[in-house]
Structure 1
Amino acid sequence: MPGWEDRARIGWGPGAAPTTTVQVEACPAASAPAAWSVYTGGTWVASPACVPLVIRSEGQQVEVRLAIGAACGENN
């Protein structure tokens, strides 16, 4: 998200390192045996914040807010 490059990072997967972009593999097909998906890693912030997170999937995009040490209010 523009303006957040020096303030927030995310990392997922084995050996997760802080980065600004993460690609997660698709979930198993509905016909596959039930299993848990585990994503190691987390978030890093310069200070507590309500961080915007852009999620893209199958040609669609949505922005959500991720509360990291600070609540997300209606105006965040």
Structure 2
Amino acid sequence: MRRANSVLLREADASAVPAGHALAVDRVEFSKRVATLLEDNPRITIRREEITSLDENEPDTITILASGPLTSAA
């Protein structure tokens, strides 16, 4: 991942905590840093709302769904 210049690994290094030879991170700091990377990326749209349907007419669009603790039954 380092040779591939992984942005996630870069953020992990920036939020690392002591753990011997293992890479451990401050989870809150790492989460904030990754969220900022995603939010600041002009090619990523984040919608924090209930999605009831997906537009399947755009073949060049990748859609990732992430569901949290407030997921509705639908």
**TM-score over 0.5 (shorter chain):** no
More helix by share: 2
The TM-score bracket by the shorter chain reads under 0.3
Q: TM-score when scaled to structure 2?
A: 0.23
More strand by share: 1
Q: TM-score when scaled to structure 1?
A: 0.23
Q: Which has the larger radius of gyration?
A: 2
